[in-house]
Amino acid sequence: MEHESPPSQEVSGKALEATLLSALKMLDVGKWPIFSLCSQEELKLIRQACVFGSAGNEVLYATENDEVFVLGMNCSGCLGTGDMQSTIEPRRLDSLCGKKIACLSYGSGPHVVLATEEGEVYTWGHNAYSQLGNGTTNHGFIPCQVSTNLVNKKVIEVACGSHHSMVLTSDGEVYTWGYNNSGQVGSGSTANQPIPRRVTSCLQNKIVVNIACGQMCSMAVVENGEVYVWGYNGNGQLGLGSSGNQPTPCRIAALQGIRVQRVACGYAHTLVLTDEGQIYAWGANSYGQLEPDDHLTVAQSLKKEFDNPETADLKFLVDGKYIHVHKVLLKIRCEHFRSVLNNDDEVIEMSEFSYPVYRAFLEYLYTDNIRLPPEDAIGLLDLATLYGENRLKKLCQQTIKQGICEENAIALLSAAVKYEAQDLEEFCFRFCINHLTVVTQTQGFAEMDHDLLKNFISKASRVGAFRN
């Protein structure tokens, strides 16, 4: 196969730990966007579900009779359907049907590692660095069992880094394989590891009870509460007090005397939970992902002052009303205002948007949250698009989704198209398809823009909405 460059330590996608949700009778999975086109009869049969992928666009679920289905995007074959075709209709994974699923993890390569209740391990997806553990670098398009060095072993937990994999057995042993440029498989070298091998060194005579992977690092908690770490450490995510990589497991000395129960990893930071219910965090903190009380972001540090105009040094004049704001906040938090503000400004007159929209925008800059009704979020979405505030744009889309109904679905779809809000557009489209009979009888549908209507009918036809 063609050689692939190793993933960048700076920009490769983060490894996301996917959580399998059971007892879904307590949840209305029909409200999850990815399930919006499934019938009520199909939804009632779901017993377990796991939404995974960097954007949550893939789902694997098991039914009451242990049939396993997938749907969604299919990057690098991560759905395991045998091809690269994405699907909005559930497709059955015959190789997993009849298996009771215990846990699943997703690496951003992307690849998937799954364990059954009987302790068998199955992998599929991207495999350029042998992260599937089958001894090759061929991508896997269907789930295949990993048996090398795991025969007679019962796997009870799985974890994925971006391009490496790790499992924990019932007898407390840890096995790793895959990409190893920073020592993340714990072998003592930086050579990629094509098959599962037990991590020994300091763990040789230890019983491990919990594992986790960061992007390119690995963690293990042993039965006495000690934490051992290895792999990439450029952001201090190993908690060793340095930034050098660690090719073999090393105990975190700073946790001496603290009994840890569980460890969890983000892209480049780590958290542990102690037996006393305390949480310790270390590593990267560029987004305030560590303890917020001690490591405040600009927005958090100014939050208390939002309703205290005496401390502000700038005014927005909108619709004849003044909004007080810190000039430094605008310069740091919003690219749009860096070119607008100068040292002499005391009042900025704004006229493009309403007072409630601007106030909601400024509150977002102070607090990282928005508080306004779904119907008013369209104006804020317009502002976010104009000012290039992508995170705010995502929050607006989430708020708008909460207010969708048959009467306004077309209007919201139109707004999503206008402001290039692709996630909202797809959500609205699926809602319309799911409520097609009622939606097509609304005034909004009758007044629908010609080009939008044409595209809607074409797309609806492609997904089989008009089949008898």
Q: Can you read off the two tokens belonging to residue 195?
A: 């098959």
The answer to whether the beta carbons of residues 220 and 230 sit under 8 Å apart is no
183/200 Cα distance (integer angstroms): 13
Number of C-alpha atoms within 13 angstroms, CB side, residue 65?
2
- Domain range summary for the chain, segments of one domain joined by +: 24-283, 301-462
Give residues with Cβ within 8 angstroms of 248, minimum separation 6: 183, 186, 187, 188, 201, 202, 230
Number of helices (H) and strands (E), helices first, in the chain? 12, 22
Is pLDDT above 90 for 191? yes
Backbone angles phi, psi at 208, to 5 degrees: -85, 140
Instruction: Note the pLDDT tens digit of each residue in 352-362.
Output: 888 888 888 88
Q: How far apart are CA 88 and CA 73, in angstroms?
A: 8
Rank 213-217, 275-279, 286-290 by mean pLDDT and report only the highest: 213-217
Cα-based distances in Å from 358 to 333, 394, 432: 15, 17, 31
Element (H, E) at 393: helix 390-402
CATH number belonging to the domain at 24-283, selected among 2.130.10.30, 3.90.1300.10, 2.40.160.20, 2.70.98.90: 2.130.10.30
* From 298-307, 368-377, 391-400, the region with the lowest mean pLDDT: 298-307
pLDDT of 3 strictly over 70: no
Span 217-234, average pLDDT:
97
Going by CATH, does the domain composed of 301-462 fall within 3.30.710.10?
yes
pLDDT in tens, 129-158: 999 999 999 999 999 999 999 999 999 999
pTM of the model: 0.61
**pLDDT at 64 > cutoff 50:** yes
Partner residues linked to 174 by β-bridges = 168
- In 205-288, DSSP assigns E strands to 208-213, 217-222, 227-231, 246-251, 260-265, 269-274, 279-283
- Cβ–Cβ under 8 Å, residues 353 and 383: yes
Residue type at position 151? V
Q: Give helix 377-387 / helix 355-367 axis angle, nearest 10°.
A: 70
**Is 117 within 8 Å of 103 (Cβ atoms)?**
no
